[in-house]
């Protein structure tokens, strides 16, 4: 499981955008959690962290350091 911080999420719509972006990354088998309140996400699979962060950035949010 990969867990990392994401800045800029502040509502359910933001969470859904991030969830969709992460789901589209090859190697992601499941988006476990996306929390605007905690500012973090958790995904399962063998996707590289850099690819996950890139997807989050393209969705308009700022990936942070690994949690």
Using one digit for the tens of pLDDT, what is the confidence trace for 13-56? 999 999 999 999 999 999 999 999 999 999 999 999 999 999 99
pTM of the model: 0.91
pLDDT (0 to 100) of residue 64: 84
Domain ranges of the chain: 2-66
Q: Which CATH class is domain 2-66?
A: alpha beta
Band (67; pLDDT cuts 50, 70, 90): very low
Answer whether residue 65 shows pLDDT above 70. Answer: no
Which pLDDT score, from 0 to 100, does residue 12 have? 95
CA angle 4–64–42, rounded 5-degree value: 15
Direct distance between the N- and C-terminal alpha carbons of the chain, in angstroms, rounded to an integer:
11
């Amino acid at each position: 499981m990969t867990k990392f911080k994401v800045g800029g999420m502040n509502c359910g719509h933001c969470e859904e955008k991030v969830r969709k972006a992460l789901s589209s990354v090859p190697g992601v088998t499941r988006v476990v959690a996306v929390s605007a309140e905690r500012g973090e996400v958790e995904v399962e699979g063998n996707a590289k962290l850099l690819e996950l962060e890139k997807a989050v950035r393209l969705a308009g949010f700022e990936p942070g350091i690994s949690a």
